[in-house]
């Protein structure tokens, strides 16, 4: 580990960023405004996340970290600046701005989680032989989840119907089950078991919350409750995307494919 405090600050940044994603869903796409007061909370959390992102990235740049991780940090700062410009546009914002702001927030959160995970590594990885199919699933899962998050964002802001998002849920289930079960039931991949179980749990919660939200559309439910569930769904979506990205990185770190299989 480069510095225990760098890792702790990165974890704190990830928690604040997730809270910002959670409260952000109460600001846009919310005509009834029962939780609109959370807008001020979202603003404060976003400012805190931006300042802490700059601090963590500068700290990371001054350490002996890998080039890829430092580049990811600078990309995170660029995303923070972009989010500030878009997020501070006066309300009501057009759908294109709201969608761009939400999508960038999801990507930024994933980058911050990766930084938090990588700064916590203390020892060289224990590598085990794996299949090329596992590597393929691990690399493809974040791309598929990102597409699903984009579909959900488009639906939440009224640009797209719910059909593509529902179909995407079944595709996501295939990839996540394929990745996690291929790891969990292989003793040689014990280093990845915790990450796989965490991903499976987060994805299961996301599916349950999504189905709950979908069922609410045809019921006479308090709009405030619908918005609250939407906020939870947006936050768990960000967690799912980050977890698949981390899983892909861990698979590349801990699993090697023999030349003959590759």
Q: What is the pLDDT of residues 134-185, one digit of tens each?
A: 999 999 999 999 999 999 888 887 788 888 888 988 899 999 999 999 999 9
Domain encompassing residue 261:
128-262
Tell me what pLDDT residue 260 has.
45
CA distance 145 to 151: 10
Q: Which residues pair with 256 in a beta bridge?
A: 129
Residue 176: which of 201, 155, 152 has the closest Cα? 201
Q: Say whether pLDDT at 90 is over 70.
A: yes
Q: How far is CA 96 from each of CA 19, 92, 157, 257, rounded to the nearest angstrom?
A: 23, 12, 9, 42
Binned at pLDDT 50, 70 and 90, residue 262 comes out as: very low
Structure tokens at 208: 């349950």
Number of domains in the chain: 2
Q: Say whether pLDDT at 39 is over 70.
A: no
Tell me what pLDDT residue 1 has.
47
**CB distance 132 to 257 below 8 Å:** yes
Whether residue 28 is found in the same domain as residue 81: yes
Q: Which range, of 22-31, 113-122, 153-162, averages the lowest pLDDT?
A: 22-31
Average pLDDT over residues 63-84: 89
Tell me what pLDDT residue 106 has.
92
CA distance 213 to 77: 33
* Residue 170: exposure state from Cβ atoms within 10 A (0-12, 13-18, ≥19): exposed
Whether residue 17 is found in the same domain as residue 109: yes
Whether residue 91 is found in the same domain as residue 136: no
């Amino acid at each position: 580990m480069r510095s225990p405090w760098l890792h702790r600050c990165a974890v704190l940044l990830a928690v604040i960023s997730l809270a910002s994603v959670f409260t952000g869903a109460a600001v846009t796409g919310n005509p009834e405004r029962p939780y609109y007061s959370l807008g001020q909370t979202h603003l404060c959390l976003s400012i805190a996340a931006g300042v802490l992102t700059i601090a963590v990235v500068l700290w990371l740049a001054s350490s002996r970290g890998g080039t890829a991780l430092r580049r990811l940090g600078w990309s995170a700062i660029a995303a923070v600046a972009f989010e500030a410009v878009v997020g501070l546009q006066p309300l009501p914002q057009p759908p294109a701005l709201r969608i761009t702001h939400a999508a960038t927030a999801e990507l930024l959160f994933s980058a911050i989680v990766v930084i938090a995970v990588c700064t916590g590594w203390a020892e060289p990885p224990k590598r085990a032989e794996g299949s090329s199919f596992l590597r393929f699933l691990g690399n493809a899962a974040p791309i598929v989840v990102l597409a699903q998050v984009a579909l959900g964002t488009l639906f939440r802001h009224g640009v797209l119907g719910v059909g593509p998002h529902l179909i995407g849920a079944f595709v996501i289930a295939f990839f996540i089950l394929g990745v996690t079960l291929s790891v969990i039931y292989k003793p040689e991949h014990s280093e990845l078991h915790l990450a796989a179980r965490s991903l499976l749990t987060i994805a299961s919660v996301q599916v349950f919350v999504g189905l709950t939200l979908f069922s609410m559309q045809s019921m006479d439910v308090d709009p405030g409750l619908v918005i609250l569930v939407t906020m939870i769904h947006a936050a768990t979506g960000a967690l799912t995307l980050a977890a698949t990205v981390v899983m892909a990185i861990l698979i590349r770190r801990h699993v090697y494919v023999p030349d003959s299989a590759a």
